[in-house]
Structure 1
Amino acid sequence: MWVGFVEFDLLLGDVHSLKGKRSLVRPLVAEVRRRFDVSVAEVDSQELHRRATVGVGLVAGDRRHVVEVLDAVERLVAGRPELELLSARRRIVTSED
């Protein structure tokens, strides 16, 4: 069993309130969940209106699948014009670790 996760540090565009932040983060979380069937949530920076930390995780039978899915999620997030991807921290482990 392989477990992979990635944590995205995001700078949001022209956002001036937490309500504006939600209008960008919620659709992103919903799209990632729908397209890739992974666990995804805003995991940090909830009190900041121009920053968001979004975590994505999945479990699979082989490492290659985990890498492919996390790569695709990262491309999707990086391609969103309304936000800037500041960093992506990734970890992949096996149940034998």
Structure 2
Amino acid sequence: MIIGSVRCELLIYDVHSLKEKRSVLKSLQTRLKQRFNLAVAETNFQDVWQRAELSIVTVSNQRVICERELERALKFIDIESEAERTLTTYEWL
């Protein structure tokens, strides 16, 4: 069994409160979970308006499958105009 995780920092533009930030992140998290069947959570910068860190996790019996699913999720995040992905870190277990 292979567990793949990605932590990615996001810059969220055009938000002026934590409430707006949470709305953007909640929408992104929900769409990632529904489309790709991944575990997604906000793991850092909860009290900062325009910055966030998302952790995305998937499990499979092959590393190639995990890599493909995580890459698809990251491409989906990159397409979003509300947030820009900056630092990305992979971890394999």
Partner of 2:25: 25
Aligned to 2:41: 41
> What amino acid is the match of 1:52?
A
Mapped pair 1:62 → 2:62: yes
Query: Residue 82 of structure 1: CA displacement?
Result: 1.0
Letter in 2 for 1:57: V
Letter in 2 for 1:15: V
The ranges of structure 1 where at least 4 consecutive aligned residues each deviate by more than 4 angstroms after the TM superposition are none
Q: Could you say which structure has the larger radius of gyration?
A: 1
- The residue correspondences of 1:79-94 to structure 2 (distance < 5 A) are 79-93=79-93
Amino acid paired to 1:70 = L
TM-score by length of 1: 0.92
- Structure 2 CA distance for aligned equivalents of residues 87 and 75 of structure 1: 14
Percent sequence identity over aligned pairs: 30
Counterpart of 1:39 in structure 2: which amino acid? A
Aligned to 1:77, what secondary structure does the other structure show? Answer: helix
The residue type equivalent to 1:71 in the other structure is: E
Q: C-alpha separation between the residues in 1 aligned to 2:52 and 2:22?
A: 10
In the alignment of these two chains, the number of paired residues is 93
TM-score, length of structure 2 as denominator length: 0.96
Q: Which runs of 5+ in 2 are unaligned?
A: none
